[in-house]
């Protein structure tokens, strides 16, 4: 078990993504996000997480995917990156997966450009691919 990698997985559009589960602190729905005019495009706003101000990153915008046609509730995954909290706004949460690093592969070449930069690789699952996001790039790449 110690040799497996643990991922928190979720969906944005039809893409199935994972981030290291150790970084994930909590997830909520129906959070109020205060939009911030003139902020970087992918920053959808700020969230008050129990007195802490957290930057929310809209993964659709970050990945260059058009907004949901009928947006239901906002799901935010809160994660700690380098001691700072960030919120990732996603479409749908999925499971925590324990995967064998042996099955990890470099990213395929046919991904949309915006997404390709942010993916360090993928795991081939029985029925689908799970893309592993480069969290640091995902966050600080917002600054352009």
Partner 1 sequence: MENNAQILDEFLLEAQEIFDQLDLDLVRLEKEPQDQKLLASIFRAMHTLKGSSGFFAFQRLEKVAHAGESLLTKLREGVLQLDPQKTDALLATLDSLRDIVRGIAEGRAEPVGDDTALLTRLGALTEGRPWLDAAPAPGQEAQDTQAAPGQTALPAPHVGDLQLQDAARHTELMAPVKISIESLDKLMDLVSEMVLARNRLLSFANHSGDANFSSTVRTIDLITLELQERMMKTRMQPIGNLWSKFPRLVRDLAQECGKKVQLIQIGAETELDRALLEGIRDPLIHIIRNSVDHGIETPQRRLELGKPETGSITLRSKHENGMVVIEITDDGGGVNLALVANTALQKGLVTQDRLTRMADREIIDFIYLPGFSTKESITKLSGRGVGMDVVRTNVQQIGGSVEVATSALGTELRLRIPLTLAIMPAVFVQCASQRFAIPQNNLLEMIRFDPTDARLEDFYGVPVFRLRNTLIPLVYLGETLGLEPHGDHADDTIHIVVVQASGLVFGLVVDKVLFMQEVVVKSAGPLLKNTSIYSGATILGDGHVAMIFDVSGIAKRSGLASTLRDKDFQSELASPAAPVQNTQSMLLFDLVQMPRVAIALDYVDRLEMFSIHRVEQRGHQDVIIYGDQIMKIIWLSDYLENGSMRGTGDCDTINVIVHYHQGQPLGLVVKHIHDIVEIGSEIVLILPPQKGIIGSSIHGDQVVSILNVEEILRLSEVEHPLMAKQADSLEVNSGLSLETVFA
Q: CB of 85 within 8 A of CB of 76? A: no
Nearer to partner 1, 35 or 101 (CB): 35
**Residues forming the site for partner 1 (CB under 8 A):** 32, 34-40, 43, 45-48, 51, 53-55, 57, 84, 86, 139-140, 142-143
Considering the complex, what minimum distance in angstroms separates the CB of residue 50 from partner 1?
Answer: 9
Considering the complex, what minimum distance in angstroms separates the CB of residue 28 from partner 1?
Answer: 13
Outline where DSSP puts E strands in 1-144.
Answer: 5-12, 15-20, 24-29, 43-49, 52-58, 75-81, 84-90, 92-99, 104-105, 119-124, 129-133
Considering the complex, what minimum distance in angstroms separates the CB of residue 100 from partner 1?
Answer: 34
Considering the complex, what minimum distance in angstroms separates the CB of residue 96 from partner 1?
Answer: 27
Terminal-residue alpha carbon distance, the chain: 38
Nearer to partner 1, 88 or 99 (CB): 88
| Cα–Cα distance list, 114 to 7, 29, 59, 61, 110 (Å) | 22, 26, 11, 10, 11
Nearer to partner 1, 45 or 107 (CB): 45
Nearer to partner 1, 54 or 65 (CB): 54
């Amino acid at each position: 078990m110690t040799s497996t990698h643990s991922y928190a997985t979720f969906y944005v559009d039809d893409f199935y993504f994972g981030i290291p589960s150790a970084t994930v602190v909590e997830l909520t729905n129906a959070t109020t996000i205060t939009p911030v005019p003139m902020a970087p495009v992918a920053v959808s706003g700020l969230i008050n997480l129990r007195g802490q101000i957290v930057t929310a990153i809209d993964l659709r915008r970050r990945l260059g995917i058009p907004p949901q046609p009928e947006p239901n509730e906002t799901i935010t995954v809160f994660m700690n990156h380098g001691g700072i909290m960030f919120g990732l706004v996603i479409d749908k949460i999925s499971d925590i997966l324990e995967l064998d690093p042996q099955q990890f592969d470099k990213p395929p070449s046919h991904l949309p450009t915006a997404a390709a930069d942010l993916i360090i690789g993928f795991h081939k699952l029985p029925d689908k691919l799970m893309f592993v996001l480069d969290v640091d790039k995902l966050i600080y790449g917002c600054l352009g």
